Amino acid sequence: MQSRPWPQVPELTAQAARAVAARGPYPLAMRVRDELGELFPDTEFAEAFAERGRPGWSPGQLALVTVLQFVENLTDRAAAHRVRYGMDFRYALGLELDDPGFDASVVSEFRARLVEHSLEEKALELVLSSLRDRGLVKAGGKQRTDSTRVLAAVRDLNRPELARETLRAALEALACAAPDWLADAVPVREWAERYGP
């Protein structure tokens, strides 16, 4: 990991995101960026990442994606989709309009690293600290929750998605290897109508 400062929102991204946001309620991801700024510095997650190797996504940005993913009840695939196509997520992460985003597996790998290095409460502590500094949360109350529940809830969302993807990949492999057998064994048209959507 090469620690980077939190990126500024590129001008074109800011213009496009604000134009889209003007048509409805101001998106949460953009409010978080505007009102809280840099919530998750990369240095807070340094012990979970090597200093050598190919540079990857910023741990601070992945922490923000994970928090927004939980708040909006998104699977890993849906969160990656929002980073790729959602102007509010692009704005919050400070991404250029042509940034390709990341694969959905990056988010689950990030969560696994947090758990492996006992950093699962770090994101929660950073959010609460930022809110406390702005006077939005008072210390000593019973507002705290266990962040492992957040990670478990996101994991539970991804299990059915993993099962669907495994079945789809197996059927595609069978369609290439033994198309005649597959046509006899599986009512393809009925399956497509039932499971396609």
Helices 59-71 and 105-116: crossing angle in degrees, nearest 10, is 100
- How many whole angstroms separate alpha carbon 165 and alpha carbon 138? 44
Contact at 8 Å (CB) between 92 and 37?
no
**What type of residue sits at position 110?**
F
Domain residue extents for the chain: 11-164
> DSSP code of 75?
-
pLDDT for 146 equals 59
> DSSP code of 45?
G
pLDDT in tens, 54-105: 667 888 888 889 888 988 889 989 999 999 999 999 999 999 999 998 888 8
Average pLDDT score over residue span 44-62? 74
What percent of the chain has a predicted confidence (pLDDT) above 70?
A: 82
Q: CA distances (Å), 127 to each of 18, 38, 192, in order?
A: 24, 10, 44
pLDDT in tens, 102-133: 888 888 888 888 888 887 787 778 888 887 88
Contact at 8 Å (CB) between 90 and 17?
yes
Which burial class, exposed, middle or buried, applies to 124 when counting CB atoms under 10 A from its CB (0-12, 13-18, 19+)?
A: middle
